[in-house]
Structure 1
């Protein structure tokens, strides 16, 4: 089976401290979240974590958009 990067690894490729884009801000903030599930790939587990712990994420729609990009790149 081919290696598939975690959502966190993918998200880190979207960081951009100079951007005003929502997904870049999400990635920038997730970088400093020491409890982020860094090896997780599962949507439900990630969503539950973010809903309960990520005060830095103003809308779950941002996560949904980022996760869709992740799925497209990983070709689920």
Structure 2
């Protein structure tokens, strides 16, 4: 069974790390509506574009997505 993007992202959480992906992970942790059980790029992208005011640019999601794909291979 493949790990969901959210589960992967939670491995990147670190309150002491102020890098873009760590900040994204830290904020996603507190987002009660985040689609936690999917690894579908389109679903995640649409959700973040419409609902994630804590994500200043989608390039951060793109970077995290690439890291996720690399980790799953």
**Considering the TM-score relative to the shorter chain, is it more than 0.5?**
yes
Structure with the greater alpha carbon radius of gyration: 1
- Over the aligned positions, Cα root-mean-square deviation in angstroms equals 0.5
Within 2, Cα distance between the matches of 1:30 and 1:45?
Answer: 15
Q: TM-score, normalised by structure 1?
A: 0.94
Structure 1 position 32, deviation (Å): 0.3
Q: TM-score, normalised by structure 2?
A: 0.98
> What do the CA deviations read for 1:16-60 (whole angstroms, capped 9, x no partner)?
100110000000000000000000101111000000000000010
* Counterpart in the other structure of 1:55: 53
**Runs of 4+ more than 2 Å apart:** none
Structure 2 unaligned regions, length at least 5: none
> Which of 6, 20, 23 is the aligned partner of 1:22?
20
* Counterpart in the other structure of 2:4: 6
